[in-house]
Chain A
Amino acid sequence: GEDVEQSLFLSVREGDSSVINCTYTDSSSTYLYWYKQEPGAGLQLLTYIFSNMDMKQDQRLTVLLNKKDKHLSLRIADTQTGDSAIYFCAAVNDMRFGAGTRLTVKP
């Protein structure tokens, strides 16, 4: 099975909030990341969180970390059509990616 697990698809309406969830296995990493990939492009670092934090807010992005359950989530407020992409989470020591979550934003 995957070292990182994410739901494959998420569809929301423009202006709604999106929540993308991730379960990881590497408990020793000091950093956990969220990346965005648009069609035909490389991965763009969106945000990261230190493992000693529970939450990090960065403009429209909120990252929540539950170390006990090895669960990471990314909330995008006021989701826009430009947010449509594939989102990946990863842990720094491991840097293994799951299949990603394809976010579709409908106007």
Chain B
Amino acid sequence: ETGVTQSPTHLIKTRGQQVTLRCSSQSGHNTVSWYQQALGQGPQFIFQYYREEENGRGNFPPRFSGLQFPNYSSELNVNALELDDSALYLCASSPRQGAYGYTFGSGTRLTVV
């Protein structure tokens, strides 16, 4: 069992650029959620994918988009990066829409300069 793996672990981007963050779900998990965690705050829900379809979205603008692949791995794309996008981005997977809890990855630390 490999757990949830996120890549890269750290990233520095310039304002206005685009970024893609990747997540490999835990084996057998078909649901993945993405969160943004700013320093000193709790994780903020971005969106969730269940069997390749978006299954819920938080209060984030359309420049935050995602994909889930047939193997249930996932991507988070952010266009037109802003300084406030600097945060820890967490991916979490679950076997069945949250049943028995979500397994979180260690996150990608994104810094926008």
B28 within 8 A of A: no
A97 touches B102 (CB 8 A): no
A43 touches B90 (CB 8 A): yes
The number of residues on chain B lying at the interface, defined by a beta carbon within 8 Å of a beta carbon of chain A, is 24
Q: Per-position contact with A for B83-106: 1 when CB-CB < 8 Å, else 0?
A: 000000010100001111111111
Q: What is the CB-to-nearest-CB distance from A35 to chain B, in angstroms, rounded to a whole number?
A: 8
Of A56-64, A71-79, A88-96, which binds chain B? A88-96
The range of chain A's interface size is 20 to 34
A48 interface neighbour in B4, B43, B101, Cβ under 8 Å: B101
Number of A-B residue pairs, CB cutoff 8 Å, is 55
B45 touches A42 (CB 8 A): no
Q: What is the CB-to-nearest-CB distance from B42 to chain A, in angstroms, rounded to a whole number?
A: 4
A97 interface neighbour in B42, B99, B106, Cβ under 8 Å: B42
B42 touches A95 (CB 8 A): no
Q: Per-position contact with A for B52-74: 1 when CB-CB < 8 Å, else 0?
A: 00000010000000000000000
B104 touches A100 (CB 8 A): no
A43 interface neighbour in B41, B45, B48, B104, Cβ under 8 Å: B104
